[in-house]
Amino acid sequence: MLDTFSTLMLGIVEGVTEFLPISSTGHLILASKLLGLQQTDFLKSFEITIQLGAILSVIVLYWRSLALNSEILKRIIIAFLPTAVIGFVLYKFIKGYLLENDWVVVWALLVGGVLLIVFELGQKKKQQPGENDLLKIPLVNFFWVGTAQALSVIPGVSRSASTILGGMLLGFSRRSIVEFSFLLAVPTMLAASGYDLLKSSAGFEPGQLAYLAAGFIVSFITALFAIKFLLDYIKKHTFIAFGAYRIAVAVLYWLAILG
């Protein structure tokens, strides 16, 4: 059963992992297992809706781009559409099957880690961090970035990783696609969390709402630090370390819990 300690731990895990290419959903599921929490309908909803706290951190840091730049907004909407359609169509399958399947998470983390490493090693030259050149990129490329993001409906894939890799393959600079992944998270996670709350909130108990609020606040604070960390990190590093980390987490979880 969810308690105060578990709520704080899951809030920290969400805030730290939401914008790093290591899968926040996958880490929340694995963390819940390690904390001995049973995968109830409320816990699934909790894992989805505390992402709103991390999304608020993006709004706080990037509100000018979100509110005042109509061209950026246009690109966010175009990229959001594929995930919106796929997430809506597959909602019951995602919540009823994928979020309960540990093997899906482990394999997604493992394969995603390998792909990150292979992609980075395959770069003919190291991509520079780059300036925010989003307005120079053809609009159709944002649709394909959104299509890449849609792969993250599979727990463990990582919304951030699929968006970043898709964008870099389409010619985005490292910094521009990382920042766009932050912005694209806003409608994506607002829609996912809002839809889940609409479908599930009637069954919540008063005490459970307090856990949601606490998880929201903790994830917001930790996400602020995670965003700043990632922007500094990509100035001098590739994503190879994140790929290795994903592989290590997948293997350890496989051996410790599923083995």
The DSSP output letter for 36 is: T
Other CB atoms within 10 A of residue 82 CB:
18
Rounded CA-CA distance 178/247 in Å is 21
Contact in structure between 115 and 243 (CB atoms under 8 Å): yes
Rounded to 5 degrees, what are φ and ψ at 205?
-95, 155
Other CB atoms within 10 A of residue 41 CB:
13
Q: Count the residues in the chain.
A: 259
User: Helices 24-34 and 4-17, interaxial angle, to 10°?
Assistant: 150
The DSSP output letter for 126 is: P
What's the average pLDDT block by block, 10 residues per block, for the chain (259 residues)? Answer: 88 93 87 83 80 90 81 92 87 73 88 93 62 80 94 88 92 89 90 77 74 91 94 91 94 78
| Predicted local confidence at residue 233, as pLDDT | 93
Contact in structure between 167 and 118 (CB atoms under 8 Å): no
Contact in structure between 2 and 211 (CB atoms under 8 Å): yes
| Predicted local confidence at residue 126, as pLDDT | 54
The DSSP output letter for 98 is: G
Helices (H), 35-173: 41-49, 51-68, 70-89, 91-96, 102-121, 139-149, 159-169
Distance from the Cα of residue 220 to its chain's centroid: 14
Contact in structure between 152 and 181 (CB atoms under 8 Å): no
The DSSP output letter for 255 is: I
| Predicted local confidence at residue 125, as pLDDT | 57
| Predicted local confidence at residue 114, as pLDDT | 95
